[in-house]
A and B are shown apart, each in its own frame.
Chain A
Amino acid sequence: MNNNITGPQLDDELRWKAKILTVFVFVLFAVLLFRLMNMQIFKGSYYEGLSRNNRIRIVGISAPRGKILDRNQEVLADNRPAYNLMVMQGDISNIREVSKRLATYLDQDEDEIFEKIDQAKPRPYDPVTIARDISFHQMARVETEIFTLPGISIDATNERDYVFKDLASHTLGFLGEISKKELKKYNQDDYAIGDLIGKAGIEFTCEEKLRGVKGTRVFEVDALGRKIKVLDERPPVPGQDIMLTIDKRLQLIAKDSLRDRAGAVVAIVPDTGEILAMVSSPGYDPNMFLTPMAPEAWKQIIEDPLHPLENRAIRGQYPPGSVFKVGMVYAGLVSKTISPKETVFCPGEYTLGTSTYKCWKPTGHGEVDIMRAISESCDVYFYSLGEKLGIDQISQYASELGFGRPTGIEIRDELGGLVPTKEWKERRFGRPWQSGESIITAIGQGFTLVTPLQVAKSMSALVNGGKLYTPRILASGEANLEKVLDVSRADLDVIKMGLRMVVEGEHGTGRGIQDPMFSIGGKTGTAQVAKGYTSARADESDLPYKYRDHAWFFGFSPVDVPEILVVAVVEHGGHGGSIAAPVVNDVIKGYYFLKGMEDEQIRKDNG
């Protein structure tokens, strides 16, 4: 191919292009020169004036944070008016002295104030919040001295208000002052030193929506940094409100029912995964994180043996106890290891090799079929099933139900519990799996750990026709169907019938909450914490607290087409049937009570 351009042709082409390029460059540079001439020669004195004391200030106007509402629009996290003390570092001549004075007015540590002002040095004319939500009295003291305090101003703003204090603290989360690390991570224009940022719960998850967009005000100041006139103002854009699937009234019922005991309650709509109530007890008042906390108060919270900051509903990892037997029935039926007709004889204990495993009922259950195995929670039946299934199948089916991994709810730092496998044990302990361990795994003891929310998720799938939904708490989300379990209708009916008999059966372990007015199914669980301690009392109050069993119960209603499923765990509460079941019962009854009130209202509204 001979398409080489050479000689004069090339020169012409290049010269022409060079000319165009040169013209282009000259035009651009001429623009710069004209603009510079205009700014520096004709408007020079104007800018000179502005520069003499650097008279222009641009400050942010904080945007009202979006509210957090429950499913009925009731406000859970609101805003209330408050005063913040602001500092413009560039206007302060002696930071040490100003810090000292502010420290006495505000009754705060001088060094802390000094450090905050000092930190603002890289952007001296961006105001920084020194003290948030100061009292009216403090505001008045500073305001009277304001003319001797250049660079200090008081900013009327909004402060977060968690209306119901500790009602849903773990779900809502809390705000705290932005840390240096977070400041680096986020866009510099969205946050300034001293700003609040969501640190946990929904406040963290929905930070970007709740936050809104800051407004700005440009104004001219005099030599002492006092405002002369506003030159420009751009109003802030309020943050978006976030609606939760929580029903505040049901949340209150659940919390009251748990009383001051450590534990968790989760109420969920089995058919969608919507969370109606999620309580972790003990709770805390998220309002207290808004202002810097006294070290003693902070110490008291983090050293509390009951760890109030921990969200037990998604981070509490407990042995599931007999609640796990429902999952084992699922595994047995799906793998065709057992059939509804087969029975196992329970003499009160089960022997494997040289070891003997006791049933909780020492006198034994006699011939036990699947219905009685569930409703009376016969351990021997499940020892036998566990031996037949083996750990590989047990963990496979437990994983299918969502155990062993976080449920995927929109709240950070969720834990995934533990589904043991042979490989896991080998890795963790360096010893091979023992078949006796499969047997105790089948009754929910051993290594297995689950969170209350995992139980809510998996059991929902077993009572709603086999659909495994991701639990969710944001009303804006859509039901997320993770998968449809590969299980027959008939098998699910067997499981449901067994769960119904737990409450309605003559010998059902949950018969304490039997009520002819309500159709409730469920399963009890009493998770052993320490070996070798037995008690005659339901709440085991004669044992040391830390040796008492965890009480589990999950219940759903109505049995045929469940509208609600509730899981309760009471830490070291004792027996599931007598301690946790009443909590679930209260929430289910509360649910119907509220529903009845709404129906009543609708009837009234329709005349």
Chain B
Amino acid sequence: MSRYAKITDNIDWGLLITTFAIIFIGLLCLYSSARVTNPTIFYKQILWVLVGSFVMVLVFIVDYRMLMHSAWPLYAFVVVTLVLVLVIGREISGARRWLSLGPMGIQPSELAKIIVILWMGYWGETKKHIKGYGIRELVVPVFFMVVPVVLILAEPDLGTASIVAFIALIMFLLLGIKHSTLIISSIVFISVMPFAWLSLKEYQRLRILSFFDPSRDPLGSGYHAMQSKIAVGSGGFIGKGFLEGTQTQLRFLPEHHTDFIFSVVAEEWGFMGSALVIVLYLILITKIISMGTKAKDRFGSMLCFGIAGYFTLHIFINIAMAIGIFPVVGVPLPFISYGGSFMLMNLICIGLILNISWRRFIF
């Protein structure tokens, strides 16, 4: 058997097909939603899919264990860009989240999500501990996770900071923490909360309250939430049909090509379409998780689990937001929302999974 045949045999084709099925659906929705207002973004997105696929192949080729050795440089790179964005970032609506790279803009906080997973996987690999970690072992990694979270909070971007914090938390739980440590830290956290709350300024409290209660701010984000709910609900069982969505076509719903793209799916393809998308995501995620149990080392497993958590968080928050059970926080939907750096990140993740899956056969 030739070497070529061996490579292709061991690729996880199911994962790849599921991914591109979701991307295809995403492109259809993007075409529909952007065709009136901004048709060029459809072609831009196709370009990003191509670029992303190319990078995905690159990521697949290089042995993922290399990443383990570059966990520190990658971590340092992310922290530097996060600091940089605070200093020279583009200011949009009072927040600095974007770094300009010529005509393009990148969000270092997007990169931070993946690097957090990588670094935690690396840390878990170097500090193996069967009974779970105690407080003494956790001080250092918790500090290194708090740094990017605080930097993203300073942009300010509460939504992304929470996601990064949550990914880090999932990684800690997956690596294993002693029961006693888990209980003690929960108690400390809960008992500190009231004091932290009292030490905040009045306007900061209001900001946090309006984050948790979308109806507190109906004119701004609440407007989107309301319109999105109408779009989703009016899709009914079979939907209004491709290019027939009135809510989204008539621009009642701004941001419908990024944060509210799911309402386009739901309005035009109805429950059938939205359920199909959710099932596809479910297949993708369960495949990634099962890959985690088969990886040949713990680093690979942790990467798989972390990426599964990363996708799950984004998908859940984004769809929950579109159907009005989560506040509007500006979290994109993987493989479907418009956005270059996000598409790139997602395809890099898939490349990593394929990499881990393929290399488990080489020993």
Contact = CB atoms under 8 A, between A and B. Distances in A.
* A and B part of one assembly: yes
A189 B217 contact: yes
B152 interface: no
Interface in A145-179: none
Chain B, interface size category, equals 35 or more
A47 B230 contact: yes
B289 A39 contact: no
A39 B312 contact: no
Contact of B252 (A3, A48, A54, A184): A54
B233 interface: yes
B250 A189 contact: no
Contact of B233 (A13, A15, A48, A187): A48
Chain A, interface size category, equals 35 or more
B292 A54 contact: no
Contact of B236 (A3, A44, A184): A44
Given A47-B232, A186-B94, A5 B130 contact: yes
A22 interface: yes
6 contacts: A14-B293, A28-B316, A35-B325, A36-B278, A41-B236, A232-B218
Contacts of B130: 3, 5, 9, 13
A434 interface: no
A216 B218 contact: yes
A17 B174 contact: yes
Interface in A15-53: 15, 17-18, 21-22, 24-26, 28-29, 31-33, 35-37, 39-41, 43-48, 50-52
A9 B298 CA distance: 12
Contacts of A189: 217, 219-221
Interface in B85-131: 91-94, 128-130
A29 B252 contact: no
Given A40-B236, A54-B230, A189-B219, 18 more contacts: A3-B129, A14-B292, A18-B289, A25-B289, A26-B282, A32-B316, A33-B275, A40-B233, A40-B274, A41-B271, A51-B231, A54-B252, A56-B230, A60-B219, A122-B251, A125-B252, A185-B91, A216-B219
B278 A33 contact: yes
Nearest to B295: A14
A216 B233 CA distance: 24
Given A51-B230, A58-B226, A188-B220, A36 B274 contact: yes
B128 A218 contact: no
A14 B227 CA distance: 43
Interface string B156-179: 000000000000000000101000
Interface stretch (B9-17, B53-61, B70-78, B301-309): B301-309
A32 B282 contact: no
Interface in B255-294: 266, 270-271, 274-275, 278, 281-282, 285-286, 289-290, 292-293
Interface string A260-296: 0000000000000000000000000000000000000
Contact of B312 (A28, A43, A90, A185): A28
9 tightest A-B contacts by CB? A47-B233, A189-B220, A51-B234, A44-B236, A40-B271, A47-B234, A39-B233, A48-B234, A28-B316
Interface of B: 91-94, 128-130, 174, 176, 217-223, 226-227, 229-237, 246-247, 250-252, 254, 266, 270-271, 274-275, 278, 281-282, 285-286, 289-290, 292-293, 298, 301, 305, 308-309, 312, 315-316, 319-320, 323, 325
A10 interface: yes
A56 B226 contact: yes
A126 B128 contact: no
Nearest to A42: B233
A15 B293 contact: yes
Interface in A46-75: 46-48, 50-52, 54, 56, 58-60
Contacts of A10: 298
A51 B253 CA distance: 11
A26 B281 CA distance: 11
Contacts of B254: 122-123
Contacts of B237: 40-41, 44
Nearest to B312: A25
Nearest to B271: A40
Interface in A439-484: none
Nearest to A1: B128
A22 B305 CA distance: 10
A60 B218 CA distance: 9
Contact of B320 (A32, A41, A46, A234): A32
Contacts of B218: 58, 216, 218, 232, 234
Contacts of A216: 218-219, 222
A11 interface: yes
Nearest to A22: B289
A124 interface: yes
Nearest to A192: B219
A276 to B, nearest CB: 31
A4 interface: yes
Nearest to B286: A22
B113 to A, nearest CB: 17
A90 B174 CA distance: 50
A37 B271 contact: yes
A28 to B, nearest CB: 5
Contacts of A51: 230-231, 233-234, 246-247
Given A13-B176, A32-B323, A51-B230, A184 B128 contact: no
Given A11-B293, A41-B271, A58-B218, A36 B282 contact: no
A39 B93 contact: no
A235 to B, nearest CB: 13
Nearest to A40: B271
Nearest to B294: A14
Given A15-B293, A123-B254, A58 B305 contact: no
B232 A36 contact: yes
A232 B214 CA distance: 14
Given A5-B128, A40-B270, A58 B223 contact: yes
Given A48-B233, A54-B250, A184-B92, A39 B220 contact: no
A214 interface: yes
Nearest to B325: A35
Contact of A187 (B94, B286, B325): B94
A124 B252 contact: yes
A31 to B, nearest CB: 8
A14 B219 CA distance: 47
Given A25-B285, A28-B316, A126 B271 contact: no
A234 B250 CA distance: 28
B277 to A, nearest CB: 10
B305 A29 contact: no
Nearest to A190: B220
Nearest to A124: B251
Interface in A228-249: 232, 234
Contacts of B252: 54, 90, 124-125
Nearest to A218: B218
A38 to B, nearest CB: 9
A24 B286 CA distance: 11
A104 B292 CA distance: 71
A21 B308 contact: yes
Contact of A188 (B93, B174, B274, B290): B93
A29 B283 CA distance: 11
Interface string A105-144: 0000000000000000111111000000000000000000
Contacts of B325: 31, 35
A192 to B, nearest CB: 8
Contacts of B94: 185-187
A18 B293 contact: yes
Contacts of A18: 289-290, 292-293, 305
Contacts of A122: 251, 254
Contact of B234 (A21, A28, A44): A44
A56 B218 CA distance: 12
A177 B284 CA distance: 51
